[in-house]
Amino acid sequence: EPEVTQTPSHQVTQMGQEVILRCVPISNHLYFYWYRQILGQKVEFLVSFYNNEISEKSEIFDDQFSVERPDGSNFTLKIRSTKLEDSAMYFCASSEFLAGETQYFGPGTRLLVL
Amino acid sequence: GIQVEQSPPDLILQEGANSTLRCNFSDSVNNLQWFHQNPWGQLINLFYIPSGTKQNGRLSATTVATERYSLLYISSSQTTDSGVYFCAVDAAGNKLTFGGGTRVLVKP
């Protein structure tokens, strides 16, 4: 069964450093998402992406964040200058269509900012 | 935005017991998904169920869209069912809003 993959599974970084989290969505899917979950809290939407542009973003997704589909398979989330509060599990998801379709989640990248 | 409330927040079960988890949402939705978050933090897709009833093994789910709630049933619970169960809904076609989760502990 096709699945969403994410790398790395864990990343430790120093405050102020840039990090890039990588995702490979399911191959025939057109819509891509990033979510995050701070330890012990609910999962929160960050951004959705379609046709090489952002469809919607949350208040969390400020100028420190960016997304990119650099080639036909990868989807990346960049955090330019990490803060302590960026420590969280980051999930990538994809769906075949937009409205009302199942979103399939990757296993997550656990980011720790020291 | 849409509000999603899950109950109960915590549930302790003896192995073999049955249970019902509830998800209430504040507006019409075009997507509702149930997830199980395992101890490693992975979100496992259980059901896509914007309306109706589905069953998968010992798990089943029912969504009554007109009354804005969904129920997840766990029958004959096993220790591997432990973890956090999340309900998530999509009202506008572009993002999932998650509830706060129900933390389930199944004791042997």
Tokens of A36: 């995050």
Q: Residue B65 and residue B61: Cα distance in Å, rounded?
A: 13
Residue B9: what pLDDT? 97
The whole-number average pLDDT for the span B41-45 is: 92
Which residue in the set A45, A93, A99 is minimally distant from B93, CB to CB?
Answer: A99
Tokens of A55: 């469809």
Verify whether the Cβ–Cβ distance B45 to A89 is below 8 Å. Answer: no
Task: Identify the closest residue of chain B to A101 by CA–CA distance.
Answer: B31
Q: Residue A75 and residue B6: Cα distance in Å, rounded?
A: 31
**pLDDT higher for B59 or B94?**
B59
State the nearest Cα–Cα gap between B76 and chain A, in angstroms. 27
> What are the pLDDT digits (tens) for A4-19?
999 999 999 999 999 9
Tokens of A56: 């919607």
Which residue in the set A55, A99, A105 is minimally distant from B45, CB to CB?
Answer: A105
What mean pLDDT is reported for chain B?
Answer: 95
Verify whether the Cβ–Cβ distance A98 to B93 is below 8 Å. Answer: yes
Residue A72: what pLDDT? 78
Interstrand relation of A109-113 and A10-13 (parallel, antiparallel or unpaired): parallel
Q: Which domains are present in chain B?
A: 4-107 (2.60.40.10)
Show the low-confidence residues of chain A (pLDDT under 50): none
Residue B73 at interface with chain A, using a CB cutoff of 8 Å: no
Residue B42 at interface with chain A, using a CB cutoff of 8 Å: yes
Q: What are phi and psi of A94, to 5 degrees?
A: -145, 155
> What are the pLDDT digits (tens) for A89-101?
999 999 987 666 8
- Share of chain B residues as helix, strand and coil, in percent rounded to the nearest 5: 5, 55, 35
Strand partners, B61: B54, B72
Look up tokens 């169920």; give the residue: B49
Verify whether the Cβ–Cβ distance B95 to A45 is below 8 Å. Answer: yes
Q: Which domains are present in chain A?
A: 6-99 (2.60.40.10)
* pLDDT bucket at B23, cuts 50 / 70 / 90: very high
